[in-house]
Amino acid sequence: MSQLRNHLRVLTALVMALTILVCAVPASIFAESSDTAEALEVVSSYPYTTTTKVKVNLRASRSTRSTLLKKIPAKTQITVKAVKGSWAEVEYKKYSGYVKTDYIVLKEVKKIKVTPTPTPAPTLSPEEDAGGYQVLQKGDKGAKVTALQEALIELGFLKGKADGNFGGGTEKAVIAFQQANDYPATGIMDANIQAFLFSGNVKNAKGEKTNTKTLSPVDGVSMKKGNTGTQVTQLQTELIRLGYLKAKASGTYDADTISAVRAFQKKNGLTANGTADKATQDLLFSGTALDAATTATPSPSPTPKPTATPSPTPEIPSQTLRSGDKGSDVKILQKRLKALKYYVGTIDGRMDQETVKALKNFQKAHGLTDDGVAGKATYAILFSDAALVKGTTPTPEATETPAPETNETTETAAAASQNWPTLRRNDSGENVAQLQEALIQLGYLTGKADGNYGAGTVSAVKEFQKANGLTEDGTAGEETQKVLFGGKAKAKAKATATTTPKATATPEPDSDILKIGSKGTDVKTLQNKLIELGYLSGKADGVYGSKTAEAVKAFQRASKLTADGVAGAKTISKLEGTSKSGTTTTAAATTTTASTASASTKVSAGSVQYSSWYDTVKAVAKKYPYATVYDYSTGISWQIHIFSVGAHADYEPVTANDTAKMLKAFGGNTWNPKSVWVKFSNGSVYLGSTHSMPHDVQHNRDNNFEGHSCLHFPRTQAQVEAIGPYATKHQEVEDAGWATTQKLK
């Protein structure tokens, strides 16, 4: 029994000990496993800031045997740069080293997908949108040049009166404006610079910041108080005609004009706010607007009795039209093409692909060069009785014995309201190109219309004049051009075995003038000098092409000569007298042209930046429009000129050689985007994406690329989704390209 009692005492003692032990265990031991460890704070990337738990040793490497750099106190702030295994790379004050992860408060590094709330892609006004402008340069004419000149006069860069002709004086004024506003001094107003001129905070000739009051010439611009320019004058003139404005047309949108516009808007059922927006302007010039004396519901006019009246002389566009042009001249063209059943689209004043295609079909049907460019030679037939309805052919009666009245009507239609400036040797520009096109079509000139009135053109004009009974002086005056463009010109007789060689086969005798098309030792000497001074890259091949012309222009601008790209006696003399260490060389190094852009195509992955289009790259593209595109997957690079920026950049390859390189990189024309590196002429390099499919607007006619291409740069997901699937595709390509670029570093 005593033994049993002893066993019970031992058992009781064991139970009491076990009870004490169980009570001493923390309650957390019985909790769910998810609560056993404290959740780590999540951060998106290294480095991050944290603290030490206890005093910890900072080591020189990941080893407890490595040099002890510092003892970091407990609860002290440190920066964690990376974690590998049980060691963390950290910074503490001026020290960098490694600590054991057990002794610091770790955080979980995890990429956090954040839905961005960025500033949306800006909605541009018509003045700010570079897509509405066309490139303007020496030789151009028309209303857009007039508006440019008025703005330059307002800002003090140009003196005199705006005449709509982009000559040497306008070119100098443009260069002065560009220099004052930190743009490359090219003398060419591309779309970006015009958008800045008419909408930005520009510097005038005195260096003062100001906003241009001259109205932008693009479609859809609203006229407001203080605006000036020819367009304001035209608006005022129409308001005076309709009886709303009693004052004279001053060309300034003043208080009287605002009151007149408000009265017009009220009478015609528009919002009467005094601002001449697009709707107001369209109605005002429509021919159907109510005048000030007419009631709002006029009684219908009685049907007039039909009377035999002669057909009115057709309205003819005042300027050459190309793909991308807009305005009233395009509407006139579209109406005529629609009447002849070549065009079936909307009369919207936009020279789009449909309009260009219709024009090409008309030109082809009438034996014209089917280039889709509407100039004098095309207008001469398009707006005459000789124009054929699509699908028809001329009847024998209409072509064999035309009545005298028909001849007179045809000539009037072709020549009415045309200005025939006298063209002579050494002239250049659009008018010369149109003259050459007509001579080529009639067989008097061969080759391409380059816009330069050289010896070949002189000979062709003389031959044309002789064949058509005109004075053989080689100068294209009014009488010569009337015959040439009037539909009655005689084509050159077909060559026989004894026929003299064509005019263009004779080399130009002016050996002291070198220009595009020139060849030989003199050109090679010129090129070597340009290469020596840094204006031209590559080898001297003795052929005066577009790159040589651009290099000559850069030298001329640096030497304060007329920058026309033609190497005459003054240019050659100045060039020969310039040493490699002279001031001209310095100018060449800072001039942003196609040739300086092509000076270096070597790009390292380490120099490439992934930057936002809206925040960073857009401003660079506007200021440095010449760039090198580098396809790192093939090693091929080509030079481009960016002429417009909006949601992305629009560009053209600079030369035919650049186009060939681009097509080689892409394997042909394709809309499929490719990730590329883009090096601007200021040396900055950004990751972007582009395609090789030419479309829409074309300014450069010598690069074998019939249109332009698009260059995209990184944007936020919200921004690309707002633009559409194609922008999203570019963004995906850019992100993949950035990952590849990181591996190439």
Of 313-317, 515-519, 623-627, least confident by mean pLDDT is 313-317
Q: What's the number of CA atoms in the CB half-sphere (13 Å) around residue 76?
A: 16
Phi, psi of 154 (to 5 degrees): -55, -40
The pLDDT of residue 10 is 64
Who has greater pLDDT, 563 or 253?
253
Averaged pLDDT score across all residues of the chain: 79
Which candidate, 579, 554, 586, 580, places its Cα nearest to that of 567? 554
Amino acid making up residue 354: E
Which helix (DSSP H) or strand (DSSP E) does residue 722 occupy?
Answer: helix 717-723
**Distance of alpha carbon 92 from alpha carbon 69, whole angstroms:** 11
Query: Quick one: tokens of 79?
Result: 């920066």
The upper half-sphere exposure of residue 382, i.e. CA atoms within 13 Å in the direction of its Cβ, equals: 30
For the chain, give percent helix, strand, coil, nearest 5.
Answer: 40, 15, 45
Q: Over range 725-732, report the average pLDDT.
A: 85
How much is the pLDDT for 618?
Answer: 92
Angle between helices 583-590 and 521-533 (to 10 degrees): 80
Distance of CA 24 to the CA centre of its chain: 79
Q: Tell me how far apart the alpha carbons of residues 578 and 531 are, in angstroms, rounded to a whole number.
A: 12
pLDDT at 314: 61
Whether 582 shows a pLDDT value over 80: the answer reads no
Pairing mode, if any, of strands 709-712 and 649-653? antiparallel
Q: Is the pLDDT of residue 603 over 90?
A: no
Average pLDDT over residues 318-325: 83
Neighbours of 448 (CB within 10 A): 14
For residues 160 and 351, the answer to whether their CB atoms sit within 8 Å is: no
Q: Average pLDDT, stretch 419-423?
A: 74
C-alpha distances (whole Å) from 516 to each of 163, 169, 449 are 29, 23, 12
CA dist 602 → 297, 635, 692 (Å):
72, 9, 21
Length of the chain: 745
According to the model, what pLDDT value does residue 394 have? 54
Percent of the chain surpassing pLDDT 90: 27
Query: Taking a C-beta distance cutoff of 8 angstroms, is the pair 376, 414 a contact?
Result: no
Lookup result for tokens 């289009």: 613
Q: From residue 391, how far is each of 77, 300, 577, 732 by CA, in Å?
A: 85, 39, 63, 48
Question: Is pLDDT of 348 > 60?
Answer: yes
pLDDT at position 168 over 60: yes
> pLDDT tens across 433-476, in order?
778 878 887 888 887 777 788 888 888 999 988 988 888 888 88
Is the predicted pLDDT of residue 159 greater than 60, yes or no?
yes
Q: Mean pLDDT lowest for which of 151-160, 431-440, 649-658, 668-677?
A: 431-440
Q: How confident is the model at residue 27 (pLDDT cuts 50, 70, 90)?
A: very low
CA 99 – CA 93 distance, rounded (Å): 14
Q: What angle in degrees, to the nearest 10, is found between the helix axes of 521-533 and 546-558?
A: 50
pLDDT reported for residue 2: 64
Residue with tokens 């003795």: 542
Phi, psi (rounded to 5 degrees) for 722: -70, -30
What local confidence, expressed as pLDDT, does residue 510 receive?
39
Q: Give, as one character, the DSSP assignment of residue 616.
A: I
CB 149 within 8 A of CB 158: yes
Helix (H) or strand (E) holding 609: strand 608-609
- 545 vs 37: which has the higher pLDDT: 545
pLDDT band at 583 (very low <50, low <70, confident <90, very high): very low
pLDDT at 215 over 80: yes
Indicate if the pLDDT at residue 592 is higher than 50: no
Q: Residue 540 carries which side chain, given as an amino acid letter?
A: A
Q: Where are the beta strands (DSSP E) in 618-706?
A: 626-631, 636-645, 649-653, 674-680, 685-690
Q: Which two tokens stand for residue 29?
A: 């031991």
Q: Alpha-carbon torsion 50, 55, 56, 58, what sign?
A: positive
Q: What is the distance between the alpha carbons of residues 116 and 609, in angstroms, rounded to a whole number?
A: 21
Least-confidence region, from 184-188, 359-363, 647-651, 733-737: 184-188
Token code pair at residue 721: 């989704």
Token pair for residue 591? 């001039």
Apex 273 CA angle, 268 and 275, nearest 5 = 95
Read off the tokens for 694: 């030419």
Predicted pLDDT at 18: 59
Judge if the upstream peptide bond of residue 298 is cis by omega within 30 degrees of 0. no
Residues 266 and 260: beta-carbon distance below 8 Å: no
pLDDT category of residue 588 using cuts at 50, 70 and 90? very low
What's the Cα-to-Cα distance from 540 to each of 8, 523, 545, rounded to whole Å? Answer: 115, 8, 11
Longest dimension (CA), the chain: 156
597 or 580: which carries more pLDDT confidence? 580
How high is the pLDDT of residue 498? Answer: 43
Which helix H or strand E contains 82, and what residues bound it? strand 77-84
More confident residue, 159 or 723: 159
- Cβ(178)–Cβ(186) under 8 Å? yes
Render 158-222 in DSSP notation, one character per residue. --S---SB--HHHHHHHHHHHHHTT----S-B-HHHHHHHHHSEEE-TTS-EEE--BPP-STTPP
Token digits of residue 298: 């006029």
How far apart (Å, rounded) are the C-alpha atoms in residues 689 and 354?
A: 28
| Cα-only R_g, the chain | 37
Answer left, alpha or beta for residue 465, where phi above 0 means left and psi between -120 and 50 means alpha: alpha
pTM for the whole structure: 0.40
Q: Which two tokens stand for residue 439?
A: 């001579």
Contact 412, 310 (CB under 8 A): no
- pLDDT tier at 689, thresholds 50, 70, 90: very high
Which range is most confident: 12-21, 31-40, 520-529?
A: 520-529
Q: 430-441 and 478-485 are packed helices; what angle lies between their axes, rounded to 10 degrees?
A: 50
| DSSP codes of every residue in 462-493 | HHHHHHTT---SS-B-HHHHHHHHTT-PPPPP
Q: Is pLDDT above 80 for 24?
A: no
Please state, as a whole number, how many other Cβ atoms lie within 10 Å of the Cβ of residue 162. 20
Q: What is the pLDDT of residues 386-418, one digit of tens each?
A: 788 887 765 443 333 333 333 333 333 444 455
Residue 512 has pLDDT above 80, yes or no: no
Lowest mean pLDDT among 59-63, 363-367, 402-406: 402-406
The model's pLDDT over 216-274, given as tens digits with 9 standing for 90+, comes to 988 788 998 899 988 899 899 889 988 999 988 899 999 999 999 999 999 999 999 99
Q: How many CB atoms sit inside 10 A of residue 361's CB?
A: 17
Among 439, 467, 443, smallest CA distance to 454 is for 439
* More confidently predicted of 394 and 529: 529
Cα 682 to Cα 616: distance, rounded to the nearest angstrom: 14
Q: Which helix (H) or strand (E) holds 15?
A: helix 2-24
96-108 pLDDT, tens per residue? Answer: 999 999 999 999 9
Q: Which DSSP symbol is given to 30? A: G
Both structure tokens of 347: 């009369």
**Rounded distance between C-alpha atoms, residue 394 and residue 720, angstroms:** 54
Determine contact, residues 214/228, Cβ cutoff 8 Å.
Answer: yes
**Looking at the predicted structure, is the pLDDT value of residue 309 above 60?**
no
| pLDDT reported for residue 245 | 92
Mean pLDDT of 652-676: 89
Give the 3-state secondary structure of 527-576: HHHHHHHCCCCCCCCCECCHHHHHHHHHHHHHCCCCCCCCECHHHHHHHH
Please check whether residue 620 is in contact with residue 592, taking contact to mean a CB–CB distance below 8 angstroms.
no
Res 126: pLDDT? 82
Span between the terminal Cα atoms of the chain, in Å = 89
pLDDT greater than 80 at residue 173: yes
Q: Measured between alpha carbons, how far is 517 from 527 in angstroms, rounded to an integer?
A: 14
Q: How far apart are CA 417 and CA 453, in angstroms?
A: 24
**Under 8 Å between Cβ of 279 and 270:** yes
